[in-house]
Amino acid sequence: MSAEAGGESFTAYIQHHLTYWNAPLTHAGGMASLHVDTLVMSVLLGGLVLFWFWWFARRATSGVPGKGQALVELALEFVDGQVKDAWHGSRTFLGPLALTIFFWVLFMNLMDVLPVDLIPAAAEAGGATHFRPVPTADVNMTFGLSLTVLLLTIFFGLKAKGFRYFRDVVSAPFTANNIFMQVLLAPFNILMFVIEMITQPVSLALRLFGNIFAGDLLFMLVAGLMAHWLSLWYPLGVLGYAVWSIFELLIILIQAFIFMYLSITYIAMAQEHH
Amino acid sequence: MGFNATLIGEMIAFAIMITLTVKFVWPPLVSAIEERQRKIAEGLEAADRARTELAAANTRADDEMKRARAEAASIIERATQQAAQIVDKARTDALLEAAKQKAVAQADIENMAHRARAELRGQVATLAVAGAAKILGREVNAETHKALLEELVAGI
């Protein structure tokens, strides 16, 4: 789908690209509907990441590794090193969690640097009228990740501290020595905890969503400049697309890393004793 | 913002991804890496050990060589001394033997000379008596002039 000349069709082009393949689960639709494109792309890419790692993990040798295994081990040791910096306990869960987050998010982000019309056009040929190929430009995706991380944060906090977890909610970060001050400070501590539980997933999800969505939108705008072969905007569009692709690659990598690192940090923080 | 059931779906997908990674991806890779690290550490340690062992063996060999050389030198020394002793002894033996032989020969010679002189003395007496008889024209009684004759013989 390419844009026609004129402002109106340009807007239509952008709007078309910003529309999800929405499948209502009930007649009413609304909240009870699914973004088929986001689900399909994320599950496909997640499967790809899993298959890639599983393929080399299955035949992993402690002898001389092949090139494929060496690459996988390099990726694993990079992630493991980051987790080791943030958390000094056992990494049997946090390690694989970080690996999953980093590579899944990275692969989903990478859909951003594919030509904006490539996957939608293929989907259109397959019968889908609308298709958004970048799952991380969908709040459902990013919040799905960040809320799961929040659940894990609470779970690991409880697991590590037991009843002390609740005591810390009431008695930290503002601490006092006498009981009167402790009771006085308790509401503020609880408020701080609630704020933390809200800001953590929201900032995590919106940071990723905002960066990738903005990048995606910019690609659409630049692609819109290339609507006509003979237009003066055409070379500018080509140049812009090339420059932005390079820049976006950097953003994609950094955002995947930040998402992984903050997730690990939040979970590690919840397990620390005050 | 466009929240809908996709969020729940993605949470489920994420949970499945994590579970599969925890179960099937992470453990074999980490165990392979750790196993290799262990192997490399062992290899390095073995190389280190072999190096120190080699150095020890070298010093031992050097010591052995030194000792062997010293022993050889002492053996040669002793042999040289022994040879010198043997030569010395042979020389003294030979000298002693020669001296003994010479003494025996000299004694023989002296004996013979003694005997010859004694014989000569005996004969001189007879000759002297005979000579005197001739000169005096008469027989000299040996018995009477025995003392004179003995004096003559002793004077020879």
Interval B119-141: pLDDT, tens: 888 888 788 878 877 877 666 66
Give the model's pLDDT for residue B138: 64
A-interface mutation test, from B10, B16, B23, B35, most A Cβ less than 10 A away: B10
> Is A33 known to be catalytic?
no
Give the model's pLDDT for residue A2: 44
Give the model's pLDDT for residue A7: 61
Structural domain of residue B30, as residue ranges?
7-155
Residue B59, classified by CB atoms within 10 Å of its CB into exposed (0-12), middle (13-18) or buried (19+), is: exposed
Taking the CA of residue A76 and the nearest CA in chain B, the distance in Å comes to 8
Q: How confident is the model at residue A274 (pLDDT cuts 50, 70, 90)?
A: low
> Is A2 known to be catalytic?
no
8 Å CB contact of A54 and B25: yes
Which of A31, A58, A145 lies closest to B10 in CB terms?
Answer: A145
Query: Count of domains in chain B?
Result: 1
8 Å CB contact of B26 and A95: yes
With a pLDDT cut of 70, the percent of chain B lying above it is: 95
8 Å CB contact of B30 and A76: yes
Measured distance CA(A51)–CA(A103) in Å, rounded: 12
A-interface mutation test, from B21, B38, B39, most A Cβ less than 10 A away: B21
Measured distance CA(B146)–CA(A26) in Å, rounded: 190
Measured distance CA(A36)–CA(A26) in Å, rounded: 15
Whether B33 is in a domain gets the answer: yes
Whether B1 is in a domain gets the answer: no
Q: Which of A211, A231, A245, A263 is catalytic?
A: A211
Give the model's pLDDT for residue B69: 96
Measured distance CA(A121)–CA(A129) in Å, rounded: 9
Q: In this structure, which amino acid lies at residue A198?
A: I
Q: Which of A2, A22, A203, A231 is catalytic?
A: A203
Q: How confident is the model at residue A8 (pLDDT cuts 50, 70, 90)?
A: low
Interval A25-49: pLDDT, tens: 887 777 888 899 999 999 999 999 9
Share the mean pLDDT of chain A: 89
Per-residue pLDDT for B1 more than 70?
Answer: no
8 Å CB contact of B2 and A138: yes
Taking the CA of residue A55 and the nearest CA in chain B, the distance in Å comes to 9
Give the model's pLDDT for residue A1: 40
Q: Least CA distance to A143: which residue of chain B?
A: B7
Residue A133 is given by DSSP the state: -
With a pLDDT cut of 90, the percent of chain B lying above it is: 71
| Residues of chain A found within 8 Å of residue B5, distances taken between Cβ atoms | 25, 31-34
Q: Which of A91-105, B47-61, B114-128, B136-150 has the lowest mean pLDDT?
A: B136-150
Phi, psi of A232 (to 5 degrees): -70, -25
Whether B132 is in a domain gets the answer: yes
**What 3-state class would DSSP assign to B21?**
helix
Q: Which tokens belong to A89? A: 């306990």
Per-residue pLDDT for B146 more than 80?
Answer: no
Interval A139-180: pLDDT, tens: 999 999 999 999 999 999 999 888 888 888 888 788 888 888
Residue B127 is given by DSSP the state: H
Measured distance CA(A160)–CA(A270) in Å, rounded: 8
Domain spans of chain A, in order of start? 7-271
8 Å CB contact of A61 and B11: no
Q: How confident is the model at residue A129 (pLDDT cuts 50, 70, 90)?
A: confident
Give the model's pLDDT for residue A156: 93
| Cis ω before A133 (30° cut-off from 0) | no
Q: Cβ(A256)–Cβ(A109) under 8 Å? A: yes
User: Can you give the pTM of this predicted structure?
Assistant: 0.76
> Is A211 known to be catalytic?
yes
Give the model's pLDDT for residue A112: 92
Q: Least CA distance to B38: which residue of chain A?
A: A62
Interval B74-124: pLDDT, tens: 999 999 999 999 999 999 999 999 999 999 999 999 999 999 988 888 888
Q: Is B135 on the interface with A (CB under 8 A)?
A: no
- No. of H helices and E strands in chain A? 9, 2
Q: Is B8 on the interface with A (CB under 8 A)?
A: yes
Q: Which of A91, A164, A207, A245 is catalytic?
A: A207
Measured distance CA(B36)–CA(B44) in Å, rounded: 12
Measured distance CA(A191)–CA(A170) in Å, rounded: 9
Measured distance CA(A109)–CA(A209) in Å, rounded: 10
| Residues of chain B found within 8 Å of residue A140, distances taken between Cβ atoms | 2-4, 6-7, 9-10
Per-residue pLDDT for A126 more than 50?
Answer: yes
